[in-house]
């Protein structure tokens, strides 16, 4: 089980790094690319972007059905490994037609890369 988790986590890291490298090499002069680059290089901005995704796609249901897992700026780091597991590994979240756009998915993945998920799978 632990080997599978490590391989999956490694795959996630490789995929995200390749995505970021491809994006940095692509030529783009539009403002949306500049804004994306800013959010990736500025950890405070990236955290706010990730929180916006969690608030709009997750907290909608969590407020009603799982109030102990409502994501806030103060607690989102604590839930990083569970967010990764539920959204990207088990693909259980978000529910109720709240699927993530490509940009939202990328934002969460990039933010998760900044988190130290040392005990992933042991929560």
The whole-number pLDDT of residue 29 equals 38
Higher pLDDT, 82 or 24: 82
Provide φ and ψ at 11, rounded to 5°: -60, -40
CA angle at residue 34 from 29 to 39, to 5 degrees? Answer: 160
Query: Residue 23: is its pLDDT beyond 80?
Result: no
Q: Give 33-84 pLDDT, tens digit per residue.
A: 445 555 556 889 999 999 999 999 998 888 888 888 899 999 999 999 999 9
Q: Give 89-118 pLDDT, tens digit per residue.
A: 999 998 867 799 999 999 999 999 998 764
CA angle at residue 12 from 7 to 17, to 5 degrees? Answer: 125
Could you tell me which of 38, 44, 54 has the C-alpha nearest to residue 108? 54
Higher pLDDT, 57 or 18: 57
- The set of residues, in sequence order, having a beta carbon less than 8 Å from that of 48 and lying 6+ positions away, is 73
């Amino acid at each position: 089980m632990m080997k599978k988790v490590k391989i999956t986590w490694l795959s996630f890291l490789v995929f995200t790094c390749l995505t970021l490298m491809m994006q940095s090499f692509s030529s783009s002069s539009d403002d949306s690319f500049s804004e994306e680059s800013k959010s990736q290089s500025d950890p405070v901005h990236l955290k706010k972007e990730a929180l916006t995704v969690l608030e709009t796609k997750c907290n909608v249901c969590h407020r009603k059905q799982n109030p102990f897992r409502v994501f806030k700026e103060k607690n989102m780091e604590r839930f990083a490994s569970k967010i990764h597991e539920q959204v990207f590994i088990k693909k259980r979240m978000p529910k109720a037609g709240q699927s993530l756009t490509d940009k939202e998915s990328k934002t969460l993945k990039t933010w998760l890369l900044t988190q130290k998920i040392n005990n992933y799978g042991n929560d």
